[in-house]
């Protein structure tokens, strides 16, 4: 089987749902922009080299429906001959898209594929526009639809993660992101056009665009004391607050995966290989523990240990679950989310897997780290993890 090489990995800024810069920006416009940006970073790559686009989206409906990756690819200049598909594995959809794109290259079915992710939660809400749980199954299995916040409370209670630990973790996420923003460390971030509608004197609205070049959910003024004063959101007497949970966010990210033969033909230098990807199931009412089981499975497949991994991007869906997973696996927190995580930067659901890939690879290159792992919990009771190897 061939190797799958990632030759470009970029993301838009992450912007707050309903209040941020992308609240009026259509998802296919964001995805088209970042797709073109990913292509533009690869010397000698032309749009006609792209054979397929695989896009992750947690709620592929309404404005995010109708094979959004195919439409966005055409908007980005990819010719009509290229195909496209959409994949939904909820929080790991973007990573799933990268994995499926890589498998096409590994199998020899394609030479150049785009794996991407998009979620504009300002437009398509959490849960979708018309959620309908299965009536007959839900009677005996209500835990399958447990609210995400309650799952975080369950993890905190069952695995002894205190409110103080969660708030300290959240504070550090904000401070790491604040420092990275101030020092320009988000080299994977591409300034992106955003839409806004401006009220005119005659009562009509005018469509305008502006360039957004930073993650607008970072709170530089965060303090542990301030976090400790926030009320709990999901459970009376609980420990999970808006401050120690991920932000609901809008964003898009894209990677370009290429075969070795095509790289040589186009004289392209790779960034990293996707070595392995795996998923696991877990109890849905504590879905946050997913990385606790996905990561050991991944490392066993690779013949590696926790100590072999130089950098980690573990999605901070909630502080409680991120703390538990890292603590129980013996992962050094100093090597986790070194530029902050979803508590500060946001969790745009179907985009997150592709977004974290771009961040992980950028940091692996800066630090010369051979192996990096990306992992996340997945709604309804799953975990996902991927192993990347930096190319010399």
What are the residue numbers of the active site?
A: 91, 347, 377
CA distance 354 to 95: 5
Are residues 212 and 250 in contact, defined by beta-carbon separation less than 8 angstroms?
A: no
Query: Nearest-5° angle of CA 374, CA 146, CA 249?
Result: 50
Which among 377, 350, 357 is positioned nearest to 56, based on CA atoms?
A: 350
DSSP per-residue codes, 156-198: HHHTT--HHHHHHHHHHHHHHHHHHHHHT--TTB--EEEEEEE
Q: How many helices (H) and strands (E) does the chain have?
A: 12, 12
Are residues 356 and 338 in contact, defined by beta-carbon separation less than 8 angstroms?
A: no
CA distance 254 to 126: 22
DSSP type of residue 26: -
- Which sign does the torsion angle of CA 97, 101, 102, 106 carry? positive
Residue with tokens 């745009």: 348
User: What residues form DSSP beta bridges with 367?
Assistant: none
Query: Nearest-5° angle of CA 303, CA 296, CA 294?
Result: 125
User: What residues form DSSP beta bridges with 209?
Assistant: 195
CA distance 268 to 46: 12
Which among 202, 383, 185, 196 is positioned nearest to 298, based on CA atoms?
A: 383
DSSP type of residue 279: E
Helix (H) or strand (E) holding 368: none
Tokens of 128: 């979708």
């Amino acid at each position: 089987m061939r190797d799958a090489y990632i030759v470009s990995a970029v993301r838009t800024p992450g912007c707050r749902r309903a209040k941020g810069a992308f609240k009026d920006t259509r998802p296919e416009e964001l995805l088209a922009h970042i797709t073109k940006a990913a292509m533009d970073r690869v010397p000698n790559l032309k749009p006609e080299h792209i054979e397929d686009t695989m896009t992750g989206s947690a709620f592929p409906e309404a404005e995010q429906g109708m094979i959004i990756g195919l439409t966005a690819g055409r908007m980005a200049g990819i010719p009509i001959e290229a195909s496209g598909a959409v994949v939904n594995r909820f929080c790991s959809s973007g990573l799933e898209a990268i994995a499926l794109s890589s498998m096409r290259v590994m199998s020899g079915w394609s030479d150049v594929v785009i794996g991407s992710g998009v979620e504009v939660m300002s437009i398509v809400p959490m849960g979708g526009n018309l959620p309908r749980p299965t009536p007959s199954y839900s009677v005996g299995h209500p835990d399958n639809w447990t609210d995400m916040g309650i799952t975080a409370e369950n993890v905190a209670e069952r695995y002894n993660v205190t409110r103080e630990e969660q708030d300290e973790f959240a504070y550090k996420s904000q401070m790491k992101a604040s420092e990275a923003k101030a020092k320009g460390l988000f080299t994977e971030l591409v300034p992106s056009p955003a839409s806004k509608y401006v009220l005119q004197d005659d009562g009509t609205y005018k469509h305008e665009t502006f360039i957004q070049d930073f993650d607008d959910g970072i709170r530089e003024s965060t303090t542990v004391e301030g976090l400790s004063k926030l009320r709990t959101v999901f459970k009376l007497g609980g420990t999970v607050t808006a401050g120690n949970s991920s932000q609901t966010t809008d964003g898009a990210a894209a990677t370009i995966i290429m075969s070795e033969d095509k790289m040589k033909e186009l004289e392209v230098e790779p960034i990293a290989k996707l070595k392995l990807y795996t998923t696991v199931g877990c109890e849905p009412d504590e879905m946050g523990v997913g990385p606790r089981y996905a990561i050991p499975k991944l490392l066993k497949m690779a013949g590696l240990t926790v100590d072999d991994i130089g950098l980690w991007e573990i999605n901070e869906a909630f502080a409680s679950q991120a703390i538990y997973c890292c603590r129980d696996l013996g992962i050094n927190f100093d090597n986790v989310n070194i530029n902050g995580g979803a508590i500060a930067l946001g969790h745009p659901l179907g985009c997150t897997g592709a977004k974290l890939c771009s961040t992980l690879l950028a940091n692996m290159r800066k630090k010369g780290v051979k192996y990096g792992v990306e992992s996340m919990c997945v709604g309804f009771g799953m975990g996902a993890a991927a192993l990347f190897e930096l190319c010399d």
